[in-house]
Amino acid sequence: AEFRQQKPEVVALCAERLLAMDPVAFSSTCSNLIEVDLRSALNRVGNKTLVVVGLEDKATPAPLARELAQGIAGARLHELPACGHAPHIQMPELLASLLREFWSSTSYQS
């Protein structure tokens, strides 16, 4: 709610882009994401992994992100307060900083 009040032009642009999507394709993609449970395969992820979640995310809540990070050996979890489902929109500078730090980290061992 706070982001919507502070950045109505960004929210309007996002809404415009969502409304421009093919509704059948978007609905199908969402259904596929909901119907497939890959948690049993998390232990097979062999790449370094950074899980980022907004603590106000309703679509992918923090407990689900925590479960994801716990299921991947050596994964890092970063929780963003006052952020919803789109940290790349709500907090792009912070997300970019987290990604740069993660990618350049030499001490992180998978």
**Amino acid 84: pLDDT:** 94
pLDDT in tens, 62-87: 999 999 999 999 999 999 999 999 99
The predicted model scores a pTM of 0.82
Q: Which residues of the chain fall short of a pLDDT of 50?
A: 110
Torsion, Cα of 2, 57, 96, 101 (10° steps): 130
Q: Distance of alpha carbon 28 from its chain centroid, rounded?
A: 19
Tally Cβ neighbours within 10 Å of residue 104. Answer: 8
91 membership: H or E segment, kind and range: none
